[in-house]
Amino acid sequence: MIDVNELRKGVTFTMDGELYKVLEYQHHKPGRGKATIRTTLRNIRTGATVQHNFISADRVDDIRIERRSVQYLYNDGDFYYFMDTETYEQTALSAVALGDQARYLKESLELSLTTYEGEPLDVELPTTVELEIVGAEMAVAGDTATGALKKVTLETGLKVQVPLFIEQGDVIRVDTRTGFTGKGAIERPLRSCCRNILDLLSLFSAPLDNLIWSLPLCSPEPNLGRFAV
């Protein structure tokens, strides 16, 4: 048994015969009366999300979770398939059980699979994943305001907001905990173009090469800042 005051985001426990994972946790202390703990929970088996309030004196049954390293293989729409990186054994998890986590899965991604008494429960994603942009809205002509964003679709179907200069085919880094985008683009056609130009310029002036590579669009890994989904 664990005290509900010890619950935190990501903790898994049993309640009324069901397995739950804490998605959100907030401690609330009114002016009078007992403190309450407001939580958002996900039923690991069904994928359903529920709101539940505990009082500070409540306790829940904790469980022993086991983890093993797996690699994501593919999905058939209803189930997602993972391979144990040591035994090569394959395990399937339903799309319902994975919920929004499925939006971050790309082929060959390595992550952790959690199990309880031999039953596959969930996956633990890496902190960030790198995903290619496969679709992007057209930027509005003349829209150059600082911080202007546009919506793009990533290879997994996830949609995020990015700066206007990011293009289809770019690869961006996405935080799986918050949905924010960070450093990217990892690879851009523009960089290849810059490299070809610099190869020619290097024949005439090495210092000029260094000057051009100091420009933001030609840097090996430009900093895009952080942008909300």
Q: Mean pLDDT throughout 126-134?
A: 93
Kindly report, residue by residue over 51-71, the tens digit of the pLDDT.
Answer: 999 998 899 998 888 999 999
Is the pLDDT assigned to residue 212 strictly greater than 50?
Answer: no
Kindly report, residue by residue over 75-93, the tens digit of the pLDDT.
Answer: 999 999 999 999 999 999 9
Q: Where is pLDDT greater, at 146 or 10?
A: 10
Domains of the chain and CATH, by start:
2-62 (2.30.30.30), 67-126 (2.40.50.140), 127-229 (2.40.50.140)
CA distance 176 to 49: 18
pTM above 0.85, yes or no: no
CA-to-CA separations, 200 to 111, 190, 208, 209, 219, in angstroms, rounded:
43, 16, 11, 10, 18
Estimate to the nearest angstrom the gap between the alpha carbon of 157 and the chain centroid: 12
Q: Mean pLDDT throughout 116-125?
A: 90
